[in-house]
Amino acid sequence: MNKNDLVAHVAEAGGLSKTDAAKAVDAVLEGITDALKKGDEVRLVGFGTFSVSERAASEGRNPRTGEKITISASRQPKFKPGKGLKDIVNG
């Protein structure tokens, strides 16, 4: 399923026009993105939790040359599925 499929599903399930459904989907994604950018968690009970984890700087190797390289610290978005979602997916 891609974003257009999701918009079509929201439009049909919510009795909305595709334009309104697209605005709703965009608003949800923007809200999650803004919260993660600030370092906040987004908890959707029964679905899961979006969060940000900090990755420390580390040293790696260039696989071609074997040369040591420094991998800078970064923030990574994470998603942890909730029990309700796991139960639905598993059966």
The CATH number of domain 3-89 is 4.10.520.10:
yes
pLDDT of res. 1: 95
Q: Model confidence over 7-42: pLDDT tens digits?
A: 999 999 999 999 999 999 999 999 999 999 999 999
Please tell me the pTM assigned to this model: 0.79
What residues does each domain of the chain span?
A: 3-89
Whether 76 contacts 39, CB under 8 Å: no
Query: Which residues lie below 8 Å from residue 6, measured CB to CB, with a gap of 6+?
Result: 25
pLDDT of res. 56: 94
pLDDT of res. 91: 84
Q: What is the mean pLDDT of the chain?
A: 95
CA dist 26 and 3 (Å) reads 9
Give the pLDDT mean for 73-84.
96
Place of tokens 């580390």: 58
CA dist 81 and 39 (Å) reads 19
CA dist 30 and 11 (Å) reads 18
Rounded to the nearest 5°, which phi and psi values hold at 90? -90, 5
